[in-house]
Chain A
């Protein structure tokens, strides 16, 4: 029992205490970081979220970011993993290269892409120009919807790596004789992928899907570095908006309520995925 104490302290200190504290703060009209007697407002901060006209566009950006980035990372990740699972020359080298983007801190990745997209001296315009594709410089972060997509691209570049790892690990657990059996039954490469690879990869895909969806839903740092939420608030996500409300505007009670809604949304997502997964596995066992 005593051996569990350090773990318990850590869990309480860094998980439970902030979770409880944030909930308490969300019930009060806390508008300063300093201690004081703030009015108790019950669930007002939560109802206020839904009356806040600024919240809905932000929710839209977050859902778009989550759906598009997760889908892109997943499809790209599976494709790259299949490639790296094939008997390539210097496979270790390719695998190490794939790790690189993931090893970069998000802040560095954001700054890097901000430079690449720069309309004046960015590499992307430079490449398009030298390949003769486009000679007019584009402002990649200059209009709201384009900027959101460009931030997604930067996120995909970094996070596809983690998908590749999970899928590659999954691929290596698939026994080679299954493919042999499929081949003897007359299945081509495509059919083998659909009938053997994909069903057996389902658990790995599900895990990585949970991780990426949750991470994407909470996206903050890459936005902060690349666009600061602009232009015209077009790249503000819920986490970014929460940050603005809590720290820039010192509406800590409201910020706490927004943060709690993120927690609830993520929790529901995770539970839904786990349920689907559990059913899938039951079916697999049968």
Chain B
């Protein structure tokens, strides 16, 4: 048979001979020894800089202030500070942590938006700068306690709180009316489940509830709020996992039961906050937990089919109270920034009371006195009264360096329970045993 010419022969000809391969491997090994003198990425030695020049800031695309808000704030900052030019970048929340980590050695960003669960990790690894000494003494009194806790780890402050948020309970007034459900019933989780049954029976929605239960941090935020309602804690006083006892397990049982009873949308296990907002705004859910930002968008006729029918409440009460999950975020200065002075000026501008008050519809201010300012209340009359009640009562997720790994273990196991692959108790026991080894306890 004749040999058919093909690309294969070229590849074969290019395949290394044994000797060639060994030489190559030897070179790689030698190179390894040479490179061994320095491990890890770049330097964390930043510099204050002159306070003038270009800086780069990293934000997230969803929840809190919109891209438009942030661009407008930035351009007014630049007008007030003509010597500073700010470039803003936006990524989804799910990519934010990893982008900060990947960009840290090169010092790409001068300012980064950090979540309340990251100061332990970023602070201890010197990814963001310790700004404790820069905080004016008055801020701690003037800001809400939940805000002050956001950038804090081990007594130090690693940023300035900017997005003060927790999950509120949203409902569709038209659906409740149709099903003749009294909104007062939504004060407790028991009442919510009863209301959901009535709404389902009325045919207003097939699945009255929708949640952000995708295998992601969003799931832990919903879970944390329920853990609080049922009186559980993530870790006990000695730092050992405690979510496999009492309220921690009851929260999962509650979640699973709502799936079994077909009251929660089965798509919840594949949904993030934005999916919740879309389903709710399309009128396909009657009730949902979500961050402050959902109100503005769900009540906007351009983006929602249920505008005018949206109402918002404090998170419902469980057997042990109603703390909201602390889902706040802070602006931090990168350790590697060569323009730390300009970065700090930008951070203090964005977090200042007048700027926060102006954009209160997207995200509520961290400043206590804003909540009594009629102008702010007017910006977001639906959420501010609920926020006043809720923001003083918040539950924190564990402030530990290995938080992400612990959270991943929890996410996977809670999903196992939600999908009926394990009982809630077994799932949480498995999560606790993984978490124990991660926490070294």
Contacts and interface: CB of A to CB of B under 8 A. Distances in A.
A and B interact physically: yes
Interface of A: 16-17, 19-21, 23-25, 27-28, 30-36, 38, 118-121, 139, 141-144, 169-170, 173-174, 199-200, 203-204, 206-207, 227-233, 243-244, 247-250, 252, 274, 277-278, 281, 284-285
11 contacts: A25-B39, A34-B104, A34-B105, A173-B6, A203-B6, A203-B7, A204-B8, A228-B215, A230-B215, A232-B412, A249-B404
B80 interface: no
B417 to A, nearest CB: 9
Contacts of B126: 32, 34
A35 B43 contact: yes
A233 B1 CA distance: 51
Interface string B129-160: 00000000000000000000000000000000
Contacts of A16: 27-28, 31
Given A230-B415, A247-B101, 17 more contacts: A20-B28, A20-B32, A32-B125, A34-B105, A34-B125, A34-B336, A35-B39, A36-B39, A119-B266, A139-B269, A142-B266, A170-B6, A230-B214, A244-B408, A249-B408, A274-B12, A281-B3
Contacts of B42: 34-35
B402 to A, nearest CB: 7
A230 B104 contact: no
A35 B8 contact: no
Contacts of B266: 119, 139, 142
Given A28-B39, A30-B40, A120 B267 contact: yes
B265 interface: yes
Nearest to B404: A248
B388 interface: no
B405 interface: yes
Nearest to A207: B8
Contacts, number: 168
Given A20-B35, A35-B42, A139-B266, A281 B8 contact: yes
B98 interface: yes
Contacts of A141: 270
Given A20-B31, A233-B215, A247-B98, A38 B39 contact: yes
A34 B41 contact: yes
A24 B101 contact: no
B279 interface: yes
B32 A139 contact: no
Interface residues of B, number: 58
A135 B106 CA distance: 53
B421 interface: yes
B305 to A, nearest CB: 12
Contacts of B4: 173-174, 200, 203, 284
Contact of A233 (B11, B270, B412): B412
Interface string B19-42: 000000001100110011011111
B404 to A, nearest CB: 5
A215 to B, nearest CB: 16
Given A28-B39, A274-B11, A144 B419 contact: yes
Contact of A34 (B5, B43, B415): B43
Contact of A247 (B39, B102, B269): B102
Contact of A281 (B9, B105, B215, B216): B9
Interface in B251-283: 265-267, 269-270, 279, 282
Contacts of B39: 24-25, 28, 30, 35-36, 38
Nearest to A37: B39
Contacts of A229: 215
A-B residue pairs, 9 tightest by C-beta: A230-B215, A203-B8, A232-B415, A32-B125, A247-B98, A20-B31, A119-B267, A33-B41, A233-B412
Interface of B: 1, 3-9, 11-12, 15, 27-28, 31-32, 35-36, 38-44, 94, 97-98, 101-102, 104-105, 121, 125-127, 214-216, 265-267, 269-270, 279, 282, 284, 335-336, 402, 404-405, 408, 411-412, 415-416, 419, 421
B35 A21 contact: yes
A204 B6 contact: yes
Given A34-B125, A284-B3, A231 B215 contact: yes
A24 B415 contact: no
A22 to B, nearest CB: 10
Most A-side CB within 10 Å, residue of B39, B101, B402, B419: B39
A208 to B, nearest CB: 10
B8 to A, nearest CB: 4
B270 A249 contact: no
A120 B265 contact: yes
Contacts of B415: 230-233
Contacts of A23: 28, 32
A233 B407 CA distance: 13
Contacts of A21: 35
A173 B405 CA distance: 53
Nearest to B270: A141
A223 B63 CA distance: 24
A34 B408 contact: no
Contacts of A33: 40-41, 101-102, 104-105, 125, 127
A174 B266 CA distance: 53
A284 to B, nearest CB: 6
A28 B35 CA distance: 12
B127 A32 contact: yes
Nearest to A12: B31
A32 to B, nearest CB: 4
A16 B336 CA distance: 27
Contacts of B269: 139, 142, 230-231
Contacts of A120: 265, 267, 279, 282, 284
B31 A35 contact: no
Contacts of A36: 39-40
Most A-side CB within 10 Å, residue of B1, B5, B105, B265: B1
Contacts of A252: 40
Contact of A232 (B15, B41, B416): B416
